[in-house]
Structure formats: structure tokens, C-alpha cells
Structure 1
Amino acid sequence: MAAAVAGHGWVRADGGASDAAVYCLQGQGAAPDLYLKHGVEAAAADIADEMARLRWLAPYLPVPAVRQFARAADPEQAWLLMTAMPGTTASAVLEANPALGPAVVDALAAFLRRLHAVPVRDCPFDAGHALRLAQARQRIDGGLVDADDFDAERTGWTAEQVWAALHGCLPLAPDLADLADLVVTHGDFSLDNILMHEGAIAGCIDVGRAGVADRYQDLAIVWRSLGELDASLQQRLLRAYGIVDADQGKLQFYLLLDELF
């Protein structure tokens, strides 16, 4: 990748919950800005997952373009070089101007409907709750869950308590074989992962968990993000998305599940 990044200024990007190191590469002159992710072991696998999903999503949604990808075996490492996208995160937009809340929420709902309209039959990635429960169990057993980062209502909980509460929410529907509510999901549809430019959604980032799952996987994450700002925005999101009566059980399940990632 040396030729592709030559002449760029390097800045370590802070924030986010990923174990990968993220760098903003600032282009000089006509050279474009880039982002580079580097991860070792589990983070390397996550980066490979993101690369595959970025390439698959590109025809459907505005996402960073993959410039280069490399992986090494000993020790396991991965590098992902992507184009930078224009815009500012939706969270930063709302923090700078809370009055924009209704307009931002309407844009988020429209973008989420667009994502969820991507044909499920074309998506090769499974992100259903059964798979993610298995991944969550692996993270608990591996000591990878950060209990200090749990939501306020679960302060003081252990990962095992979250695990038990999750299973108290099952089954999610009377007929788990019913595929009617499965859509292509982002997997971590938070305000920090949605970019806005000139009042519109410019695209989404951090798509390593994207795949076929219940639509509430995405709705729960953005619903929680908005609730930290203004509870009225939560209801506006659901209405704009097209939900009159939200399934509170599914919201709770996916919020609990997200604690383990």
C-alpha cells in the first residue's frame, strides 16, 4: 500500500468501539483523503468482514470504496484502505444544532427504509440473532465484553446477567420460521455511523456486521441513540420509518444483545 498512501498526512482517528486502529490519511493537493484500518487477531477478522461487506454493498448504498486490502498470517493481521466519504456524523450534526433533530430523524428513517429494501435473496451474509447469540457467547467466554460500557440501566450488571436477560426475551416471535421480517441490516446503525452532508444522508460506515437479520436489529440501535437526545425523536423515527406500534420485546432484545459487542 506504500504507493497509495505516499504523500498523505497521518492522523490517528479516535472514538468508536472497534479494536482496530483507524487512521485518517489526509491527501495533499489533488490526492483524496483516505482511511486505513489495521487489526490483529480478532480485529483482523472483523476488518476482513467489513471489506467483504463494503464491496457487496457498494452497488446499493453509498459506502466507502475499498482501495486495497491485505492480510498476513503470522501474526494474523489485516489492513483495509478506503476512500473517505464527505460529511459529518449524524451525532455531530445533532450535537451542534439540536433543532435539526426532526429533519435528521426523517433523513435517517428514509435511509433505513432504503437499506431495508435491498433484496434479501441477494445478500450472502447472515446476521440473524441465532448467529449473533453464538458470537456473543464466544465473546463472554473469551472475556471480551466490556461491562463498564453497558447502558445506564444496566450499570453494575455482569455479562452473564445480560446473557440471562437475553434468553428471557426469547422466542422473538410466535413462529421463528417466519421470514417476513428479515431484511438486509447495517448491524450497528448508530448516529456515529451515519454521515450527513448538506442536510442529506451521505452514506454509512463501519458495516462489518451487515447482513440479513430482523429489522429491529437496526431500529433498536438508532432508537437508543435518539433516546439519549430527545425521547420525542424516537417516536418520530418509528412513524417516519412506517411503524405504528413498536415491538418492545424486540427492541429490548437487540439492545441487550448489543451490550455484548
Structure 2
Amino acid sequence: MDPDRALVDKHLRDRYRDYQWREVTVGHSGSVVAHLTGPADLHLKYGPDPLHPDPGYDIGAEYDRLRWMAAQGLPVPEVVECDVFDGHTYLVATTVSGRDAASPWPAHERMRVIDAVADFARDLHALSTTGCPFDRSLRVTVPNARVAVALGQVDLDGAGPQQALTELDAALRGNDTEDLVLTHGDYCLPNVLLDPETLTVTGVVDVGRFGLADRYTDLTTMAGSIDGPLNPQYTREHTDRFLWRYGLARLDEAKAGFYGVLRRFM
């Protein structure tokens, strides 16, 4: 553990000395995440100010979104506190009850899990966008992608910076018309919690990228999560079910391809 992190870790462990800590290693935000059990059931996240311009790496941005989403009645963790210590922002929030959609589910329940995931996305996207202060449209995300490449904050998978940006520009061509809705921004199976008895959504987590964006931001991410190698319990049939339940016969391949490329820069 580096000295800066060790200092912050000691401060937070002293502050929450009555809790048992278990570090959570699932996820790719770059922050330290821990599950705290004791007088309450909490999750804690901390990290330094990120170089990457995407708000998914910014704990303060997630705090702002949690507060706004809660005020709209959306099921998100309740903020306990958010502060800065020694150049690191930390966020403590209540743990959302339930099991995430990526957990192992009995075969006979998986379609109902997918239905609940689709219903939540459809309902979220149907909400009024009035007053939402978080702009995640292409006029924000595409320039952020360019900045992230310039700062060396993107895994280019062997490609050079110019090659990567050329690929982004090519994918964007013809796909820059947006249907802006409220989006989760990182709508994948681990970020959706369900009641294991009723199979209804109890909440969503990791909302640092929440905001106004095209619905394909969520649809492409979730379709890839369902059909991806990290969730082998699900098949292409479940992806098709997600789209059907949401209200689509299929994804627009070109548009989904673009949002898949854009996601690699986040």
C-alpha cells in the first residue's frame, strides 16, 4: 500500500472503528471500495482526484448524482457522508439490499431477473429530463474521450492514440443524432440489485456516470453485460429478452457499435 493511501486508510478505519471491513475488488473505477458491517450496513469508497475527465472516476461527482437521484425518488444508496482527507475524496453510503443481477441465479429465475432489469431501464428512460444538471451528451463525452487519450488515461489495447481517435471518429459518423433521456451511465448487471424473493429492483449503484445521454448508453452496456463472458449464466436468448421487454426488436448495429467504441474511452 502506498504511503498516501495508507494514511487515508488509517484515518477512515479510525473513523469507522466499530465496523468490520471487507475490501471489494470487483469493478474498475480505480478507487478503493470497502463493505463495512457493524452498527449499520455501509459501503465506503475513496481515492485521489482522478486525471481521467470522465465523472465515473470522480467520487465527488458520484456524491452529487446520488443526492440528486435520491431527491427524484430513484432507488440509490443513501449518502452518509462525503469529505476530503489528505487529497483523497471519500464517500460513505448505505448498502442497497438485495443481490446483484450478476450473481448466480437459479435457471428458472433468470428470465425474471432480466425482465426486472429491462423494466427499470425503460422506466428510468421514461422519466422527465427537466432539471437534470448532469450533461452526458456527445458534446461532453466525445471531447472527454479525446482529453483522456491525450492524458494517457485510456487503455488503447496496442493502438496508437491517433489510430484510436480515428476509430472513434469513424464510429461516430452517422451516429451523432441523440435521443436524450436520463441514463444510469454504467448500466451493467453488477450495478443492479434485486430482491431475491420478489425479483424486483431494490436499487442501482455506481452512478458516477448518471446523466442526460442517448438511451443507447445504457442499452449497449447492458446488452454487452448480459451477453458477455463475465456472466456465463446468461445467453443470447437473455439479451434478446432484455431488448424485447424494453420495447426493441433489436439494437441498431451501427449505433450500438459506436457506443461500444465510446465506452472503451471511459
Pairwise same-fold verdict (TM > 0.5): yes
Q: What TM bracket, shorter-length normalisation?
A: 0.7 to 0.9
Deviates more, 1:201-210 or 1:3-12: 3-12
Matches within 5 A, 1:62-101: 62-72=75-85, 76-92=87-103, 95-101=104-110
Alignment-derived partner of residue 65 in structure 2: 53
Give how far 1:171 is off.
Answer: 3.8
> Matches of 1:236 and 1:142 in 2, distance apart?
40
Sequence identity (%): 34
Alignment-derived partner of residue 260 in structure 1: 265
Please list the CA deviations of residues 107-157 of structure 1 after superposition, one character each: whole Å capped at 9, or x if unmatched. Answer: 111100121122111211101122111111122112122345xxxxxxx55
Alignment-derived partner of residue 109 in structure 1: 118
Which of 222, 234, 246 aligns to 2:239? It is 234
Matches within 5 A, 1:89-238: 89-92=100-103, 95-147=104-156, 157=159, 160-173=162-175, 176=177, 181-198=179-196, 199-228=199-228, 229-238=234-243
> Matches of 1:241 and 1:4 in 2, distance apart?
44
In structure 2, stretches of 5+ residues that fail to align are: 1-11, 229-233
In structure 1, stretches of 5+ residues that fail to align are: 149-155
SS state at 1:169 partner: helix
Change (3 A) 1:158 1:101: farther
Q: State the TM-score, normalized to the length of structure 1.
A: 0.85
- Given that 2:183 and 2:214 are in contact with CA atoms closer than 8 Å, whether structure 1 keeps it comes out as yes
Give how far 1:158 is off.
Answer: 5.3
> Matches of 2:212 and 2:162 in 1, distance apart?
26
> Matches of 1:98 and 1:91 in 2, distance apart?
13
Which of 31, 34, 54 aligns to 2:42? It is 34
- Given that 1:105 and 1:236 are in contact with CA atoms closer than 8 Å, whether structure 2 keeps it comes out as yes
- Given that 1:109 and 1:241 are in contact with CA atoms closer than 8 Å, whether structure 2 keeps it comes out as yes
> Matches of 1:9 and 1:247 in 2, distance apart?
47
Please tell me the residue identity of whatever aligns with 2:191: N
- Given that 1:90 and 1:192 are in contact with CA atoms closer than 8 Å, whether structure 2 keeps it comes out as yes
> Matches of 1:211 and 1:76 in 2, distance apart?
26
- Given that 2:129 and 2:212 are in contact with CA atoms closer than 8 Å, whether structure 1 keeps it comes out as yes
Give how far 1:163 is off.
Answer: 2.8
SS state at 1:82 partner: strand
How many residues are treated as equivalent by the alignment? Answer: 243
Structure 1 residue ranges (4+ consecutive) displaced by more than 3 angstroms after TM superposition: 1-4, 156-162, 171-174
Superposition RMSD in Å: 2.3
- Given that 2:156 and 2:164 are in contact with CA atoms closer than 8 Å, whether structure 1 keeps it comes out as no
Give how far 1:60 is off.
Answer: 2.7
Please tell me the residue identity of whatever aligns with 1:112: A
> Matches of 2:174 and 2:182 in 1, distance apart?
18
> Matches of 2:162 and 2:141 in 1, distance apart?
16
